[in-house]
Amino acid sequence: MLESAHTQITSLIDEMEKVILGKREILQLTVTAFLAGGHVLLEDIPGVGKTMMVKTLAKATHGKFNRIQFTPDLLPSDILGVSIYNTAEHRFEFHQGPVFTTVLLADEINRTTPRTQAALLEAMSEKHVTIDNHTYPLDEHFFVLATQNPLDYEGTYPLPEAQLDRFLFKLQIGYPEFTDELNLILNQTGHELNRVRQILNASEISQLKRIVDDIYVDPVVARYALQLVHVTRNHDGIALGISPRGSVSFIQAAKAFALTEGRNYVTPSDLQQILPATFGHRLLLKSGEPATPKQLEAIFEQLLKQVPVPVRK
């Protein structure tokens, strides 16, 4: 079963890589978050393929795809839906918003107000929404990939810590390598998405998620993960370290990552590889300023040096 699961995951990443060239590591982490039941925040420059990556994932997993363009005048009801009175039947009817989907692209999420940003909190955490005292379930594989542009802060509303903590990973696609970009401009036909095949269905995704839940985490490895978390809470330059939700997410992500590597157990190396994507957006510096990539790199290096890697006995 493990070998079959790994083959399915590899096929999914291979299929996505037909469209998103040269970014296999990012694709693997995105699939990891999807299988772990988490969500992804992409902070990147425009035009590097964020939207195409989400559409490709949706098509390869046979999931419904919706996109919301976040703007300052967007309302919570524009995301969740609204109850409209039916005069013929003398009752209110709920009309679903775009959040009722499998894969949701929340484009430029930091361009809308905190009130509207908060509309996604319940959906991301509990996979249902509550409107007029009625709770409506979302798709069991509901997955949010939100984007924000790091270069354009004018007219934006930074995501609060509680919202950031709902994202399993924060990733950056970045510019493609020269050869990959050359292949892109030479072979571009405008129909890349049409070539994407369905690799997984809902039942197969559910099975993969059950396998993720059964991935073994040795107590020694779990202790190593928690030690890394605790160092962030006692770091001289960090005002807000990793929360308990973050530590649980760290382990769940490591289990999903181990499966993408073809293993049924988590290693310290798994934790080290996903640490930047899991920790970076959850840390608040004492300076109050957003951490730069160089600052985060230095902090991650300190964490990994400070906590000894467990050795098998």
pLDDT at 312: 66
- The DSSP code for 216 is B
Q: Residue 19 in contact with residue 150, Cβ under 8 Å?
A: no
Which pTM does this prediction carry?
Answer: 0.91
Q: How far apart are CA 32 and CA 146, in angstroms?
A: 16
pLDDT at 189: 47
What is the chain's Cα-based Rg? 20
pLDDT at 145: 94
Low-confidence ranges of the chain (pLDDT < 50): 151, 189-190
pLDDT at 85: 86
User: Mind listing the pLDDT tens digit for each residue in 23-72?
Assistant: 999 999 999 999 999 999 998 777 777 888 899 999 999 989 999 999 99
pLDDT at 49: 77
pLDDT at 237: 85
Which residues, including other chains, have CB under 8 Å from residue 176's CB and lie 6 or more apart?
21, 22, 23, 48, 184
- Token output for 241: 């370290």
Cα angle value 121/105/198 (rounded, 5°):
120
Please, how many CA atoms are within 13 Å of residue 83, restricted to the half-sphere of its CB? Answer: 12
Cα angle value 41/39/6 (rounded, 5°):
115
For the chain, list the strands marked E by DSSP: 40-43, 65-69, 81-86, 91-96, 103-107, 128-131, 134-137, 143-148, 169-171, 238-240, 284-285
